[in-house]
Amino acid sequence: MKLIVAIIKPATLDTIKSALQANGVPGMTVSEAHGFGRQKGHTEVYRGAEYIVDLIPKLRIEILVDDSDLDRVLDLVIATANTGSIGDGKAWVIPVESVVRIRTNERGTDAI
């Protein structure tokens, strides 16, 4: 089993979510995040004082997948998160040792 983690542009969330749902991916977790990367921040102005806002708001999505689904789901996330402009984010994959569905105590792939 694998965990796909992606940092994405907030505006792409709906497209990603719809694509995942349409392709039978059973779940995803979303949290708000801030960070910096190659994309530069923006400048805000308050009474003439300029502040550079360089921690940019992003979303962090996490998706548990069975090994056999990994490539298909990862490709889906990448395709839908890509706008072609700087700041589209990153995705990475982490091996997962075990997964438990809390209600039923199901283990492993059944819990995904």
User: Shortest distance, CB of residue 90 to other proteins, whole angstroms?
Assistant: 26
Candidate residues 46, 95, 97, 105; the one interacting with other proteins per rule CB under 8 A: 46
C-alpha pair distances (Å), 25 with each of 4, 50, 72: 12, 44, 10
- 45 lies in the binding site for other proteins (CB under 8 A): yes
The length of the chain is: 112
User: Considering beta carbons, is residue 53 or 100 the nearer one to other proteins?
Assistant: 53
**Region of 14-22, 28-36, 42-50, 68-76 interacting with other proteins (CB under 8 A):** 42-50
Candidate ranges 14-22, 45-53, 71-79, 98-106; the one touching other proteins (CB under 8 A): 45-53
Both tokens assigned to 45: 């102005």
Block residue for tokens 């995803």: 28
C-alpha dist (Å) from residue 39 to 9, 56, 101: 11, 9, 38
Q: Are 13 and 30 in contact (CB under 8 A)?
A: yes
- Window 49-68: residues binding other proteins (CB under 8 A): 49-53
Interface ranges with other proteins (CB under 8 A): 44-53
